[in-house]
Amino acid sequence: MERKAKRATAKSKPKPRGKAPSGAGDFLTDSSQVERHVARARAKESVGDRVKNARALRGLTLQDVSSRTGISVRTLQRVESDQAIPPLGELMKLGKALEMKMGFFISPGVEKPMTVVRSGQRRAVARHGAKKSERYGYFYESLAAEKADRMMEPFMVTLQPTDVEELSTHEGQEFIFVLEGQMKARVGDQVEVLDAGDALYYDSTQPHCVRCVGGTETRILAVLYQPPS
């Protein structure tokens, strides 16, 4: 009788299930898995999404942000609805107003000691006027989008022909190296024309702007530094 009971008990035990796929349980225990998941989710957000979410997180209205940055409410609405991409100077102002590093709006990145961006992996962000009268277009590609909490913002910028000189002022400093074409830079009262191979370094607190000259596009390497808040 005892042997039969033991056999019955053995049969009633649930069969062990197969092992979970490798890494399945790590999501709850490995913080790096969570970080990667959050980074992937944020990567799908647009610049406008990140600006809007940061503003909501701070409990600020569009008027509040406008007062802090000098950017019109109408422009902020267009940014948050992805109808316009703010220039780099305005992104820095938004970063200060919303207590975020401006690079967060381009890409929050992941905590790593080193990141590599291959030539075919650069994230392009365009900024073009909606009308022919707004020929201030240029687009920039982030060269460090994968690095979180970065102190510098390096970009590959393509300047397009325009007659508009749009001055900007914000905290920090900028470094520019001309790769191709010719560029005119205005910083305060000083105006310089730079050719390929020339470099420029200036305080961003001075009214400044750069534009290509000669009727052809100009490519530059630009590195922006924003001091900690």
Cβ atoms of 42 and 80 closer than 8 Å: no
User: Is residue 105 pLDDT above 90, yes or no?
Assistant: no
Say which residue the tokens 């922006």 belong to.
224
Is residue 155 within 8 A of residue 185, CB to CB? The reply is: no
> What mean pLDDT, rounded, does the chain reach?
77
DSSP-assigned letters across all residues of 87-116: -HHHHHHHHHHTTS-HHHHH---B--S---
On the question of pLDDT at 113 being above 70, the answer is yes
Residue-wise pLDDT tens digits, 86-104: 888 888 889 889 988 877 8
Helix (H) / strand (E) element for 183: namely strand 182-187
> Average of pLDDT values for 38-43?
45
Smallest CA-to-CA distance from 100 within 108, 89, 109 is with 108
pLDDT at 27 over 80: no
Cα separation, 34 vs 214, whole angstroms = 50
User: Per residue in 119-131, pLDDT tens?
Assistant: 777 766 655 544 3
Mean pLDDT over 52-75 rounds to 94
Q: What percent of the chain has pLDDT over 70?
A: 72
How deeply is 33 buried, as exposed, middle or buried, from its count of CB atoms within 10 A (0-12, 13-18, 19+)?
middle
Residue bearing the bigger pLDDT, 25 or 141: 141
CATH 3.20.20.70 correct for 32-225: no
How far apart are the C-alpha atoms of 121 and 187, rounded to whole Å? Answer: 32
Q: Give the pLDDT of residue 38.
A: 39
Q: Enumerate the domain spans of the chain.
A: 32-225
Tell whether the model's pLDDT for residue 59 goes beyond 90. yes
pLDDT greater than 70 at residue 223: yes
Percent pLDDT > 90 in the chain is 38
Give me the residues paired with residue 185 across strands: 192, 210
Q: pTM, whole model, 2 decimals?
A: 0.66
